[in-house]
Amino acid sequence: MASSFGAAQVLVASNRGPVSYEVADDGSLRAKRGGGGLVSGLSAIGPEAGALWVCSALSDGDREAVRRGVGEDGVRMLDVPADVHADAYNGIANSVLWFVHHMLYQTPLEPVFGAEFRRQWASYETYNRAFAEALAEEAAEGAAVLVQDYHLTLVPGMLRELRPDLRIGHFSHTPWAPPEYFAMLPDDIARQVLQGMLGADRLGFLTRRWADAFTACCERFAGGPGDTRIGVHGLGADADFLRARSHEADVDERMAALKEEIGEGRRTIVRVDRTELSKNIVRGLLAYRQLLDDRPEWRERVVHVAFAYPSRQDLAVYRDYTAEVQRLADEINERYGTPGWRPVVLHVKDDFARSLAAYRLADVALVNPIRDGMNLVAKEVPVVSDTGCALVLSREAGAHEELGDDAITVNPYDVVETAGALHEALSMRPEDRTERSKRLAAAATALPPARWFLDQLEALREA
Ligand code: G6P
C-alpha cells in the first residue's frame, strides 16, 4: 500500500482555486492569482513543506493549462467534464445547497426535486468523487486534508473509504440551514450530505449558530454527529494586508475619481458586494430611498456608493436580480437627483482597488444580507476607513456575532427600520463613530486568515 501514497502533507480542496489562467492573444497562458484568506493561509505553509491545493479547472484557460500540463507548484487543477461541472456547480451547489443554507427559495414554486434534480445530483456525486480520488492519490500517509464548502460535502466520506489513514477536515463558509428548512431536501439526499460531511474527523463553521444548526440537522436525519468533532473558527479580516494595500497609488487614484462622483462635502453610505441574492442589495436601495423620503434633510448631502459585482451570471435568477439592482438605482437617481447630485453611484465592474477606495471614504457601511456565513466586508470597512465608519449590520450575518455590540443592528427584511438605521448612522457624533469603529476593527481582526487556517490545521491534528 505504502507505494501508492502521494507526497503532500497538507491538502486543501475547493471548487475555486488560488489561480486561474487566461489564453492570451498570442496563445500563451497568463496566470492570475486569487486573493483571500485561504490563499494567504496556505502560502504560510507553502509547497516546499508539502502543501497542495486541489481545485477545479473553471475557465477555458484553466482547461487549456491542464491539457498543456502547465501549472503552479502546490496546485493541482481537476478537469472534470464541463457538463458534469455545470450540473454540480450551477445545478446542485449554487441552485440547491446555496439556496437551502441561505433560505432563498420562494417556496410556492420552488424547489422542485424531480428527475432533473436527480440527474444533476449524479453529476454532483461524480464531481465529488473526482476530488476524493485526486486527494487520495496525492496525500502522504497520515496527511491532513482540509475540504472547503458546500460544493464538496461528499468528499470527506468518499475519501475516508479510500484512505482511512488521513486526517480529514471540512469547513463551511456559508450559514447552515435550520432543520425545518434543511428538511426540504429529499430525505436520502439530506442524509447523504450529512453523512458525507460526517466522514470527516472535524467540521468547522464560521459561527456557533451555524454549527448548532448543523448538529440539529444531524440529530434529525443522521442519528447525531457521532465521533466527528465540530468547531467554530470566525475568520477575520487581514489588517496588515488591507492597511498596506489600501494606501497604494492605484487606490489613491480611484479615491480621487470617486470623490469627483460623490461631490464636495457629502456623506457616503458604502456597500460592496457580489450581486448575490443573499446580499439583499435591492432592499438596501429601497431603504436608502425610504431615507430620502423620510428625512429630506439628507437630500443633496449624502451619496450611496454601491458596488455590485457580477456573480453566477449563468443562472437566470442572478441575471434578473442584477437587472433589478440597476433599474432601482436608475429610478432613485431619476426621481431624486439634481443637476449637481447623483444620489446613487452604482458600479458593477469588479475592481478591488476601487472597493478599497470606497472603504476609505465610507462614513457608513451598509451590510444587510438576508443571511450570510460571515460577511468580510463588515469586517474590512472599519479597518480601512480613513475617519472611522458607522456600521449598519444585518442580524443575520455571521459577523453580527462578533460585531453586534458596536454596529447598528437591522432586520434585513425591514426597510423602514433599515432607513432609520441609516439615519442614525449618518447622525452619529464623530467621536462616538470613531470609538465604535476602532472597537469594530479590533473585533474584526481578532482571527486573521493565516491564523484561522493554522488553527484549523492544529485542531485537526489533535482531533
Ligand atoms: C462566497 C461564499 C463561499 C463560496 C464562494 C463561491 O465567497 O462565502 O462560501 O465558496 O462564494 O463563489 P463562486 O464565485 O466560486 O461561486
- To the nearest 5 percent, what fractions of the chain are helix, strand and coil? 50, 20, 30
CB of 173 sitting under 6 A from ligand 1: yes
Give the model's pLDDT for residue 2: 46
How do the pLDDT tens digits run along the chain, 463 residues long? 445 799 999 999 999 999 999 999 999 999 998 777 677 777 778 788 889 999 999 999 999 999 999 999 999 999 999 999 999 999 999 999 999 999 999 999 999 999 999 999 999 999 999 999 999 999 999 999 999 999 999 999 999 999 999 999 999 999 999 999 999 999 999 999 999 999 999 999 999 999 999 999 999 999 999 999 999 999 999 999 999 999 999 999 999 999 999 999 999 999 999 999 999 999 999 999 999 999 999 999 999 999 999 999 999 999 999 999 999 999 999 999 999 999 999 999 999 999 999 999 999 999 999 999 999 999 999 999 999 999 999 999 999 999 999 999 999 999 999 999 999 999 999 999 999 999 999 999 999 998 999 999 999 999 8
Give the model's pLDDT for residue 49: 82
CB of 304 sitting under 6 A from ligand 1: no
Q: What is d(CA 42, CA 10) in angstroms, rounded to the nearest whole number?
A: 9
Give the model's pLDDT for residue 4: 77
Q: What is d(CA 136, CA 155) in angstroms, rounded to the nearest whole number?
A: 10
Helix (H) or strand (E) holding 194, with range, is helix 187-198
String of DSSP letters for 61-97: HHHHHHHHT---TTEEEE---HHHHHIIIIIIIIIII
CB of 16 sitting under 6 A from ligand 1: yes
Work out whether the CA dihedral 20, 24, 26, 27 comes out positive or negative: positive
**Which residue among 173, 377, 380 is best mutated to probe the pocket of ligand 1, counting the most ligand atoms within 8 A of its Cβ?**
173
Q: How far is the CA of 239 from the centre of ligand 1 (A)?
A: 21
Q: Are 246 and 362 in contact (CB under 8 A)?
A: no
Q: Are 155 and 131 in contact (CB under 8 A)?
A: yes
Q: What is the DSSP letter of 50?
A: T
Model ipTM value: 0.96
Q: How far is the CA of 235 from the centre of ligand 1 (A)?
A: 14
CB of 274 sitting under 6 A from ligand 1: no
Closest ligand 1 atom to residue 174 Cα is: 9
Closest CA to 427 of 293, 295, 253: 295
Work out whether the CA dihedral 270, 274, 276, 278 comes out positive or negative: negative
Give the model's pLDDT for residue 216: 98
pTM: 0.96
Closest CA to 210 of 170, 253, 242, 238: 170
CB of 37 sitting under 6 A from ligand 1: no
Q: How far is the CA of 463 from the centre of ligand 1 (A)?
A: 27
Give the model's pLDDT for residue 3: 55
First to last CA, the chain: 24
Closest ligand 1 atom to residue 15 Cα is: 15
Angle between helix axes 430-444 and 376-384 (nearest 10 degrees) is: 120
Q: Which residues pair with 330 in a beta bridge?
A: none
Q: How far is the CA of 334 from the centre of ligand 1 (A)?
A: 34
Closest ligand 1 atom to residue 374 Cα is: 8
**Burial class of 272 by CB neighbour count within 10 A (0 to 12, 13 to 18, 19+):** buried
Q: What is d(CA 394, CA 372) in angstroms, rounded to the nearest whole number?
A: 9
CB of 238 sitting under 6 A from ligand 1: no
